[in-house]
Structure 1
Amino acid sequence: MGRIGTWKLKLRMFLATIFLFAIIYVILMLIGSIMGFGGPLFYMLLGLGIILLQYLISPSIVEATMRVEYVSPEEAPRLHAMVEELAMKAGIPKPRVGIADIGIPNAFAFGRTKSDGRVCVTRGILRLLDEEELKAVLGHEISHIRHNDMIVMTLVSAIPLICYYIYISSIFSRDRDMSLIGLLALVAYLIGQLIVLFISRVREYYADYGSVEIGGQPHKLASALYKLVYGSAASEEDEIREVEGLKAFFVNDVSRATAEIEDLRQVDLDMNGTISEGELQQIKYRDVKIGAAARIMELLSTHPNMLKRIKRLSELT
């Protein structure tokens, strides 16, 4: 992917974000033309309030839902050493390090700013990955912090929510113009949600690239992603439902893991449960087949199709 691939990812995120803000701007201006300045001002303040609330309380929600316990360097020396090394290479302050009491193998990053970053792993991932695979995954999460993804996603995800509030408050209005705006807001909400999902998927690609940029080996990250899909598919359904609302924080979409397994048979050529450097090299020079259903489901997911993601990683070898 290299510099050109990174530039394309940045351009896609920029254009999608601009389009998202354009949607809310048009709706607010239409409301303003009907109600005067009070309408847009109210929803603008509402939007700012939603963004601020999400910004302030989201770390606490993540900590509680994921059952995070922060660990000291004495309690988890290797984990701290990896996070410290990666943070130094990424040029950000060392994040707090935590372990989530969850069996689903995964990792996640959150926080309000780079200096408030937190990187956590689940107990499941510590049992599943080897050290280099874990390092590559941690590099992915460190890259999310480096790219300010927590702030970006908080900001853009608030916009469809504002559209939804406009829809709810306008759809039953006796004023015909306001009712039409309500319907427009509903359409904008649905489109906005798809754009937010698109931005989230692009940022996952960007974080994969960031992991390699700060020292993660492409085949080790690919192997880790492959293992995480199988590990998620083998997890208890009750545990997956428990974290459903926060699965966007994870490295992969845990809800789609079972559906992705069949396609992933194309990358583990010797079927030994890992992806070697040689296997990733072979993927680079051949096509992979992704079914129509998988392509459609990807549009409704916070994460890219895993086979496409591994194919992208092969381009970094």
Structure 2
Amino acid sequence: MAHTRFIKDTGLTARMTLVMFLLGALLVGFVAVLLAAFGNSPGLILLIGGIGLGVVWFQWYNSDTFAMKAMRAREVTPEQAPELHAVIDRLCALADMPKPRVGIAYTDLPNAFATGRSPNRAVVCVTTGLLDRLSAEEVEAVLAHELSHVAHRDVLVMTLASSAGIIAGMATRGAQYGAIFGGRGRDSNSGGAPVWLVVLVVSMVTYAISFFLTRLLSRYRELCADRSGAFLTGKPSALASALTKITGDIASIPNKDLRSAQSMNAFFITPAISGMSLKTLTSTHPSLEQRLEQLAKISAELGRPLDGGFPQPGQPGQL
């Protein structure tokens, strides 16, 4: 990755580092509680932790395969999609990064995503709905955003961030089974709370905190990708226009199609959600207003004010 092209934001980086630190501290604290609760049974702790880390590794290692299958997308060659490949070739040259595989999902839902366990195993995918609606400049802006995710290894970052939640979730399920089948633990004869009850409560609290921190980190990563992509192309107005079109056009997609794609919301450039605000603690993405505000500031930095009027949704694309 070319550090001079993918511009870093010191403030965003500091906030993301703080969230990762808190998630790490949360995981350490949770493991400490498990050790205290099951001091006489370290094998059980190792089993829960080993299975949890195995799940995390499996999801990360196969992230590209899972995402492509979820969207029923297929990889395309330069001969099959020459213009799309040409844009990605140009952006990868600008960013000095390996070229990812290129995919197309044949759906009217306008969106794009990037995933993969490393830049050398990444795939960038766009939908036909996005290609039909956006101009060439807007498609380039979206692809620059997605390539920023690849270059900054965001799939790895978010996978690591989810570790505490996954392990806590498994411990919660184990505690539920322990309670159902009568597991009371070493405190049952001393009048204290059953071990499984303590683990259940602590696991649920850990999972909830991890969930909100991970969503917060996800919103920071999206803002970072917006910023990096806008500086890479030098056209923040194109990304602003693309985000406005995509968000507006998603509202016209049937709810059945939106529900079928919601498992991919964390990967999409804009979530497949209609008729609800994104200004919530549980959102994977910042609100459109927040993203446009950041892009306006970037435009001011570059001396290129955002255009007052965005292209209307449904305008034919050029790719």
State how far apart, in whole Å, the 2-side matches of 1:10 and 1:39 are.
37
Per the alignment, residue 174 of structure 2 pairs with: 169
**Match of 1:211, SS?**
helix
Give 1:83's aligned amino acid. I
Per the alignment, residue 200 of structure 1 pairs with: 218
State how far apart, in whole Å, the 2-side matches of 1:32 and 1:119 are.
42
Of residues 98, 117, 131, the one that matches 1:112 is 117
**Match of 1:105, SS?**
coil
Give 1:30's aligned amino acid. V
Give 1:203's aligned amino acid. R
State how far apart, in whole Å, the 1-side matches of 2:152 and 2:287 are.
21
State how far apart, in whole Å, the 1-side matches of 2:234 and 2:269 are.
15
**Residues 105 and 128 of structure 1 are in contact (CA less than 8 Å); yes or no, is this contact kept in structure 2?**
yes
Aligned residues: 280
State how far apart, in whole Å, the 2-side matches of 1:252 and 1:220 are.
15
**Match of 1:258, SS?**
coil
Of residues 27, 31, 43, the one that matches 1:28 is 31
- With CA pairs under 8 Å and 6+ residues apart, which has the higher RCO, 1 or 2? 2
Give 1:15's aligned amino acid. L
**Match of 2:298, SS?**
coil
Deviation at 1:50, TM superposition (A): 1.2
State how far apart, in whole Å, the 2-side matches of 1:20 and 1:31 are.
17
State how far apart, in whole Å, the 1-side matches of 2:111 and 2:259 are.
15
Give 1:314's aligned amino acid. A
| Corresponding position: 1:179 with 2:197 | yes
When the two chains are superposed, the root-mean-square deviation of aligned CA atoms in Å is 1.9
State how far apart, in whole Å, the 2-side matches of 1:69 and 1:57 are.
16
Per the alignment, residue 144 of structure 1 pairs with: 149
Gaps of 5+ in 1: 261-293
Give 1:247's aligned amino acid. N
State how far apart, in whole Å, the 1-side matches of 2:10 and 2:44 are.
38
Per the alignment, residue 124 of structure 1 pairs with: 129
Of residues 14, 18, 37, the one that matches 1:11 is 14
**Residues 32 and 39 of structure 1 are in contact (CA less than 8 Å); yes or no, is this contact kept in structure 2?**
no
Per the alignment, residue 99 of structure 1 pairs with: 104
**Residues 109 and 253 of structure 2 are in contact (CA less than 8 Å); yes or no, is this contact kept in structure 1?**
yes
**Residues 29 and 40 of structure 1 are in contact (CA less than 8 Å); yes or no, is this contact kept in structure 2?**
no
State how far apart, in whole Å, the 2-side matches of 1:193 and 1:82 are.
36
Deviation at 1:104, TM superposition (A): 0.4
Q: TM-score, normalised by structure 2?
A: 0.83
| Corresponding position: 1:220 with 2:238 | yes
Per the alignment, residue 311 of structure 1 pairs with: 293
**Residues 31 and 39 of structure 1 are in contact (CA less than 8 Å); yes or no, is this contact kept in structure 2?**
no
Taking the TM superposition and a 5 Å limit, the aligned residue runs for 1:225-304 are: 225-255=243-273, 257-259=274-276, 295=279, 298-304=280-286
Greater C-alpha Rg: 2
**Residues 136 and 216 of structure 1 are in contact (CA less than 8 Å); yes or no, is this contact kept in structure 2?**
no
**Match of 2:83, SS?**
helix
State how far apart, in whole Å, the 1-side matches of 2:213 and 2:206 are.
10
Distance verdict in 2 for CA 1:62–1:90, change over 3 Å: same
**Match of 1:22, SS?**
helix
**Match of 2:218, SS?**
helix
Relative to total residues, which structure has the larger helix share, 1 or 2?
1
Taking the TM superposition and a 5 Å limit, the aligned residue runs for 1:65-80 are: 65-80=70-85
Q: TM-score, normalised by structure 1?
A: 0.84
Deviation at 1:4, TM superposition (A): 10
